[in-house]
Structure 1
């Protein structure tokens, strides 16, 4: 006789286990299917001794099972004991191979051929059975690559490469580093997807030298006992004894679809649609945990508990409901479900996020209802969050000289993507229109979403390309006339020094720089002479089409991860033919550049200054301190003023740093467009003010991550020094050390990171510049580099 249950639960991970525990506690007939011989196979396969996080910290736990920050073995032991105490009906070594039927009458087929009947089914199968692979030649044949790490203590004195930037990769790398030589390979330039605790863990390990990290590196092939990587400096071969790839997983789509569940798109990263009660498009079949979009343990456990309650007809509020209610209180009278439904219905970029993934995002986002005419952000602000218009409209002032010239964005449209992508100043002032409701998503959250959900990245990139072309290249051309050109566009990424195109080549494309910067050089007298520096928001390559001649110069990326929008030359030329106004404007621009380049070609000093500034980080700077040593009298008033402004701690080293042609770059913050110091700050203590200043607030915990990540050595850890006697006490009675930092004073208390903040809250601007008696100290933006270089020609 076929077994029959009220609920069949597939998968004994945290979500499925919690659901079974709730069913057992409520006396609901149930069965929990697990294909292995133990509970929670994913956590069981965690490395031994792994510390398991219980984030989000502010989210309450609902479950018969206890769970808090702890060691893997302790957590699994506690769960086994609770399972036995509750009398959970677990069937181990039972893999579900098919589900048919309908609500009230499902048939579950097992790998043994047995069948089981159930009124409801809960899918809690996770994703770990469908691991992402490296996808490079040699990974299968070499015998070097593995995708799981059970016990790091099994390996000793080996050279091990860990590929990945998520929590699993970080934890594996740190554990293996105790008795092996470990290098972690991060495909990006930061650990954007890791939990805060693991950010601190990996950053500390790298800082101490426990392991190495290669950023912006991608595997190319595996052969001869080595992994070949593509890096900003070219391909390198890294010898190793083994490669452990932790690249996440994708949904077991074929099996899930065979059960009748529909995915919203063909994207590999798409997740099934579920209701607010976790019910799929198949009535009676529920989806929880990672397959539903919530991979965190605590969230999955809450869902398992809640799914059983929903099946029983108890419409309890989800555990994160109070947190979302607080976030949504500005929309009076609307429930959380209504707000989420409104966002998905009104904002296309989020339409393919299932409710669970959207809930997770909204825990970190903010809703605003600004007054009509209120400024959301201003032109030249350095804010970098991302906005969507949920209701109403916003007005974008596109002409700084005439605020009446505006572009209106209505419901469902987004803005702020240029600051998100480029890291530079906002390109326009945005004001709220009537009845505007805006959703603001922090940069880190949005980047994580773009990296995880292909549909979001696709929509964002397409719209951003159109706007960037219209803003920076063709402001007078209607959007519809740009579509043909934009359809040829592709986003290219370049390493530092890599050529976008070279002198003498045929012109086949135009590049709009959307992130980073480039240098333009020409071969003169057997040497490459840098003629100009071009920052993001500008374009290069058009001169070949305007003159019908080969490329007149070589253009190279000035910094790593420079991104351009590459547009087909034929489509660009067709646009010029259709738009005489645009063609004339570009001809005038090209003539100006040609004259400038000829002048620069005649001055080796001017060329050298540009090259020097780029090498010193000016290529990614938004504000850099320079000192003209022909004017500097070495009075050190700049350092004294800095210390007096910042509580006795000097944040500037005038003498340190290189010099070229009497132009000196002291050790002082560059306020980078994508600040390296922000990459791994566990308490999120580093911020960018609206005027561009990168500063550190009092929540700094002194971990040193920013000091380690800064490539320009401008951050240090320091404790607050004792308060000095006043100026009169020093002048009249000789008390204290006088103006500036007291070299003998020792700070007390916890150390915190300190760096230049450009005196952001002080009227008049940077104290170092204001205190310079000869005008030797100046702060400049990238747009002013050409003016600085021009001084060398005088």
Structure 2
């Protein structure tokens, strides 16, 4: 039986780095690899793949060299370094079991051999346990989960599923025009938040060049045999615009992977939760719940190569007694907590916050370090405002210490609900995109962690426990906000226990007129349109924003649905079982009366339209058509502030455009003539300042923000990458060379200095014309933020034709169109 101090299982970047450090230190070790070569995960990357060395600012501590380069060059360099360092490698040695603890581990191999070790470093990765498709038809032989060499495939319809780095790189590798493949990538999310910036840029560039296509917010439904004129097989895909049928000769699914949990748990290691993709419980030094058994690399929850290699170096240092070694990001995290009233080490803060905040209980220490670097810590005194009602904001706040008071009644500041340490608030802004629904103040000295939207979404996508808890918390808060003052806490808890979150695409109906059902629906995010069938036409009744509920009328109509309700845009609704809600209604007079009042107001609208359908049929048609034009065709259902023009008043003077250009260095942010019209209403090309701005989806320098008045603006950090322009579905962002700042209007009037109103500098134009490719930045409407009097386009309109309106004003505008 061989005996070593450290047995390292897995020769990927983390394991190889650990073995290299052990060899450099002269520590007896063995590196166990189940295949016949080092670094099987890298070895299985597609041939020619370029491997990045991100994060760029992170120094490399490993004795094994690593810098960005091709898969082949990195593998060759690692083989040489392993030889040079005399790493004790044992290939074709699959580990079948690990038993024991510190000082006395027994490692069983598939060939019957046994190795004894004082310490075990588990660096097996997760790629051997990929997530797989379970849709009908995906058991066909052309469905694969690995791509070795994209050059092997020619003249095929290939669908790549998964918008992570692996999926994007596979799609790009297959999209070589010389191979003749038709490549389509399917991504479930709205963008590519978990992928490297360079990969996303390359993907968009390839799409713009016509080399491939991708569909976001899309998922596979099934694979079936094709019909006449189609490929032998067809992938049926659910998209935001409905079902699509894509011919496919091959499907490559890159859906991530899960830890080899059964094998790891058999060694005695505990995990953070029951989910398949949960990670092992680890100390800051990577030691598991089994003393002496350390876990590093992707299995620890951090797959970036440079991080893995640093962990491999550090774990050997920890085992060797180097207790002073700190991760390279420690100084940055120390700065985050420098003003804390209690002094703790960074590692202690990470454990304290993770254990303290229920939402973060399943987050690994490595993931904690990552998102903390993107977060802020606030210290507030009693009475300090943390957020105000109607503020714009989508970050969430986690209370580390202390208590805050939520002001539930805007007319009575003293009517509050406490939220104690360990809980979060602000999640409704994250979920719905709407303004803050309450003012929150410190009820005593508090320490609060503010987590930005992108970091929160990444956690929700990476850690199942975070998403599960966030869904429950946000549902509980929305139910409490609507019914909480009318129901005891036990009743709210019962509603939440039975609630179901349903995702919807634009146009999906979740209540159908004429059906019998008493389920209640809360609009969790997005918005909904209520319609009623009058004669042979669907008549628009109302528009329901996130934070409201629908479906209650059936409780007063013997379960009969009196209207159809459908999602106006991509939305989520919370379904509350009707029988449970009806029981609560009958047992609570206050709740009954509140719902009855709402039903009465909605019944008036129904009765009015029903009674007037003959004499006012043209009026009803106009109201419905204008509402649909604004909310569905023009996308104003996801806007918070939109510019519309009354064409009966507009004289075509273009003062709106000129004023906009004059405010913004000669570049107008709106195009009055562009855009669509209905009746007398015209929607020019100008920013809508969406609830969840598409332009923010992938801004590498984080240059796009929402201001205090709701305006979405681009700051000076813009690098001109064009991502925002690509993501915006309304064509309101332009890439433009920015002229120099103009002299004041008074200087132009008095001394003739500079160009006139609405005109760029002529000398600058001439210089620009000489430059074939001047540097360009993204420009869009910023609602003239910070300028007294508000948007210049509205102020400059001599007839009052140009107005800016919010969602709650769309319906009144539609009503005016019928008069």
SS of 1:367's equivalent in the other structure is strand
1:495 maps to 2:517? no
Which range moves more in the overlay, 494-503 or 471-480?
471-480
Does the Cα contact within 8 Å between 1:380 and 1:691 map onto a contact in 2? Answer: no
TM superposition shift of 1:447: 0.9
The structure 1 residue matched to 2:303, chosen from 295, 318, 331, is 295
Aligned-partner Cα distance in 2 for 1:24–1:581: 74
Match of 2:669 in 1: 651
Match of 1:305 in 2: 313
Q: What corresponds to 2:801 in structure 1?
A: 776
The Cα of 1:424 is off from its aligned counterpart by: 1.2
Q: Verify the 8 A CA contact 2:754 2:761 in the aligned structure 1.
A: no
Is the Cα–Cα contact under 8 Å of residues 518 and 559 in structure 2 kept in the other structure? Answer: no
Q: Pick which of 235-244 and 16-25 moved more.
A: 235-244
8 Å contact kept, 2:3–2:116: yes
Matched-pair contact (CA < 8 Å) for 1:61–1:319: no
Q: How many aligned positions are there?
A: 791
- Name the counterpart of 1:459: 469
Residue 619, structure 1, aligned to residue 637, structure 2:
yes
Change (3 A) 1:356 1:70: same
d(CA) in 2 for partners of 1:365, 1:44 = 36
Report the equivalent of 2:174: 176
Q: Which residue of 2 aligns with 1:788?
A: 813
Aligned to 1:400: 410
Which residue does the alignment assign to 1:63?
Answer: 62
Q: For 1:356-375, what aligned pairs fall within 5 Å after superposition?
A: 356-375=366-385
Is the CA contact 1:62–1:319 (under 8 Å) kept in the aligned structure 2? Answer: no
**What is the CA distance between 1:208 and its match in structure 2?**
3.5
Task: Report if the CA contact (8 A) 1:275-1:355 is conserved.
Answer: yes
Q: Deviations over 1:620-675 (max 9, x none)?
A: 11111111111222221111111111121100111111111201111011111111
Unaligned runs of 5+ in 1: none
The residue aligned with 1:190 is 191
1:103 aligns with 2:102: yes
> Is the Cα contact below 8 Å between 1:19 and 1:308 reproduced in 2?
yes
- The Cα of 1:216 is off from its aligned counterpart by 1.5
Deviation at 1:68, TM superposition (A): 2.6
Equivalent runs, 1:528-547 vs 2, <5 Å: 528-547=538-557
Aligned to 2:558: 548
Structure 2: runs of 5+ lacking an equivalent: 226-232
Task: Say which is worse superposed, 419-428 or 217-226, in terms of deviation.
Answer: 217-226
How far apart are the structure 1 equivalents of 2:674 and 2:86? 70
Using the TM superposition, give the Cα deviation of residue 411 of structure 1 relative to its aligned residue in structure 2, in angstroms: 0.6
Q: How do residues 439-454 of structure 1 correspond to structure 2 at under 5 angstroms?
A: 439-454=449-464
Corresponding position of 2:245: 237
How far apart are residue 271 of structure 1 and its match? 1.1
2:537 aligned partner:
527
Instruction: State the Cα deviation string for residues 272-297 of structure 1 (Å, max 9, x = none).
Output: 11111111111111001111111111
1:628 lines up with 2:626 in the alignment? no
Question: 1:150-206: per-residue Cα shift (whole Å, max 9, x none)?
Answer: 122222332211100111111111121123321100112111211233232223333
Q: How does 1:96-135 map to 2 (within 5 A)?
A: 96-135=95-134
Deviations 1:342-401 (A, max 9, x none): 112211111222322222222222221123222222111121011110100112111112
Q: Does the residue aligned with 2:635 lie in a helix, a strand or coil?
A: helix
Query: CA–CA distance in 1 between the matches of 2:747 and 2:347?
Result: 65
Q: How does 1:273-422 map to 2 (within 5 A)?
A: 273-315=281-323, 316-331=325-340, 333-422=343-432
CA shift for structure 1 position 450: 1.0
Distance 1:22 1:146, change over 3 A: same
CA distance in structure 2 between the partners assigned to 1:575 and 1:369 by the alignment: 41
Distance, in Å, in 2 between the alignment partners of 1:146 and 1:90 is 31
TM-superposed deviation, 1:144: 1.5
Cα deviation, 1:573-611, whole Å, max 9, x if unaligned, reads 122222222222222222222223455664222221111
| Post-superposition offset of 1:449 | 1.1
Deviation at 1:433, TM superposition (A): 2.8
- Is 2:246 aligned against 1:248? no
Given that 1:294 and 1:360 are in contact with CA atoms closer than 8 Å, whether structure 2 keeps it comes out as no
Using the alignment, how far apart are the partners of 1:209 and 1:764 within structure 2? Answer: 46
Cα distance, 1:84–1:549 mapped onto 2, change above 3 Å: closer
- For 1:393 and 1:725, the matched residues in 2 are separated by 52
Higher mean C-alpha deviation, range 119-128 or range 703-712: 703-712
Q: What's the CA shift string for 1:239-297, capped at 9, x where partnerless?
A: 12211110000010111111111223321121111111111111111001111111111
- Aligned partners of 2:754, 2:21: CA distance in 1, in Å? 69
Task: Please give the secondary structure, in 2, of the residue aligned with 1:206.
Answer: helix
Question: 1:8 Cα deviation (Å)?
Answer: 0.5
Shift of 1:95: 0.9
Q: Look up the match of 2:659.
A: 641
In 2, Cα distance between the equivalents of 1:165 and 1:330? 40
- 2:87 maps to what in 1? 88
- Distance in 2 (CA, whole Å) between partners of 1:204 and 1:685 is 21
Alignment partner for residue 155 of structure 1, among 153, 156, 161? 153
TM-score, length-normalised on structure 2? 0.94
- In the alignment, what sits opposite 2:211? 210
What secondary structure sits across from 1:531 in the alignment? Answer: strand
Q: Output the TM-score relative to the length of structure 1.
A: 0.96
Alignment equivalent of 2:782, drawn from 757, 765, 768: 757
CA contact (8 A) 2:665 2:740 kept: no
